[in-house]
Amino acid sequence: MRALHRNQLVWLSDAAWQQVRARAWDDQAQDILTHWHLQQLPLVVCRQRVPQSTHTLSLGLPAPLQWERRKLALEVADADIERVGNFPLLSPGLLGPEGVAPLQNFLQHLAVLEVPARVYGSYGWQLLSGLPCVRNSSDLDLIIPVPDGDVAGQVVWLLRGLHLACRVDGELQFPDGHAVAWREYAQLIGGKVEQVLVKHRTGVQLSAMAHWQAVPC
């Protein structure tokens, strides 16, 4: 099986979609899957329900508001994947005129660190699907890949200074695919907690500060 991380996007082949839609789904689920197939929309790699499997991949489909934000879980064969990609990059205009200046400043600082910011969650799926997914209470969820703990700390400092109309949430993703919520990482490096929850494609684990200092990412 190819090495895919949590929150990567995959596009299924047409034959795979036909097989998926042929399974026993209720009417609403079938409507969602038909739309996803016809619009050639991606699915997201989630935590693997069969961690040791080398033949199947666990994927998720979080539907837009018109389908009550229903979440579907699918299992597909590795051979069913036609291509792999990522969530959209954060752009200054994502939140409207009031967000342009702070986001532009934030992205300029990230560019100096040579790390991108990608949008997932409600805002990410709205960009991908073109359908309403964002509510008034929706967070702006960001995935920021970082090369090491030092850069992660600098990104946390930038995130703490980013003031927007909505809450900024999300994860720092290290090269091995392990990810930590940036707010938890901020507490760890600030000495407020001794361990943080680390997420990866097959599960979760607790890691202390010594892990990030001693193990090259």
Predicted confidence (pLDDT) at residue 71 exceeds the cutoff of 80: yes
Domain boundaries, the chain: 9-85, 97-214
Among left, alpha and beta (phi > 0; psi -120 to 50; other), residue 67 is alpha
Q: What is the pTM of this model?
A: 0.93
Over residues 147-169, the mean pLDDT reads 96
What is the β-pairing status of strands 43-45 and 56-62? antiparallel
DSSP letter assigned to residue 147: S
Q: Does the annotation mark 31 as catalytic?
A: no
**Which position among 31, 78, 139, 169 bears the catalytic label?**
139
pLDDT of residue 23: 96
Predicted confidence (pLDDT) at residue 205 exceeds the cutoff of 90: no
| pLDDT-wise least confident of 13-17, 46-50, 51-55, 168-172 | 51-55
Predicted confidence (pLDDT) at residue 118 exceeds the cutoff of 90: yes
Q: Give me the DSSP letters along 16-49.
A: HHHHHHTS---HHHHHHHHHHHHTT--EEE---S
**Which position among 141, 150, 169, 176 bears the catalytic label?**
141
Predicted confidence (pLDDT) at residue 213 exceeds the cutoff of 80: no
CA atoms in the 13 A half-sphere facing the CB of 67? 20
pLDDT of residue 207: 79
pLDDT of residue 215: 45
Predicted confidence (pLDDT) at residue 168 exceeds the cutoff of 90: yes
Over residues 103-115, the mean pLDDT reads 98
Over residues 1-14, the mean pLDDT reads 89
Q: Does the annotation mark 139 as catalytic?
A: yes
pLDDT of residue 203: 84
Predicted confidence (pLDDT) at residue 179 exceeds the cutoff of 70: yes
Task: Record the tokens describing residue 115, joined without a space.
Answer: 């790390």
**SS3 state at 120:** strand
Q: Give me the DSSP letters along 149-216.
A: HHHHHHHHHHHHT---SS-EEEEEE-TTS-EEEHHHHHHHHTTS-SEEEEEETTEEEEEEHHHHHHS-
| pLDDT-wise least confident of 175-179, 191-195, 207-211 | 207-211
